[in-house]
A = this chain, B = another copy of it.
Amino acid sequence: MASGTAANQKTRWRTPCQQCPLRSLPDFRDFSAKELEFVSQFKSGELSAERGATILVEGMHSAHLFTVLSGWAFRYKLLPDGRRQIMNYVLPGDLIGLQGSLMGEMDHSVEALTSVTLCLFERSKLGRLFERHASLAYDLTWIAAQEESILDEHLLSVGRRTALERTAYLISFLHQRAHLSGMSGGKRVVPITQQHVADTLGLSLVHTNKTLRKLADRKLMRWQDRGCEILDPDGLLALAGWEGLQRGPRPFI
* A residues lining the B interface (CB < 8 Å): 75, 77, 79-81, 83-85, 87, 98-99, 102-104, 107-108, 127, 130-131, 134-135, 137-138, 140-142, 144-149, 151-156, 158-161, 199-202, 241, 246, 248
Q: In the complex, given contacts A87-B152, A99-B148, what are 19 additional A-B residue pairs having Cβ atoms less than 8 angstroms apart? A: A77-B153, A79-B161, A87-B155, A87-B156, A102-B145, A103-B142, A103-B246, A107-B152, A127-B134, A130-B141, A131-B134, A134-B134, A140-B141, A144-B145, A144-B148, A155-B158, A158-B158, A159-B200, A159-B202
List 8 A-B residue pairs with CB atoms under 8 Å apart, sorted by A's residue number.
A79-B241, A85-B160, A102-B141, A102-B142, A104-B246, A137-B141, A159-B199, A159-B202
Chain B residues closer than 8 Å to A146, beta-carbon distance: 102-103
Q: How far is the CB of A61 from chain B (nearest CB, A)?
A: 13
Contact check, A159 vs B79: say whether CB atoms are below 8 A apart. Answer: no
Docked CA distance A247–B115 (Å) = 36
Contact, CB under 8 Å: A79 / B156 = yes
Please name all residues of chain B whose beta carbon is closer than 8 Å to the beta carbon of A81 when the two chains form the complex. 241
Copies in the complex: 2
Interchain nearest-CB distance for A31 vs B (Å): 16
**Chain A contact residues: helix, strand, loop or mixed:** helix
Chain B residue with minimal CB distance to A77? B156
Cross-interface CB contact of A77 among B85, B147, B152, cutoff 8 Å:
B152
Residue among B80, B108, B160, B201 making CB contact with A241, cutoff 8 Å: B80
Is the pair A98, B145 in contact by a Cβ cutoff of 8 Å?
yes
> Across the two chains, which residue of chain B brings its CB closest to A151?
B151
Whole-angstrom CA separation of A87 from B188 in the bound complex: 33
Residues of the B chain whose Cβ atoms lie less than 8 Å from the Cβ of A241: 79-81
**For A79, what are the chain B residues with a Cβ–Cβ distance below 8 Å?**
156, 160-161, 241
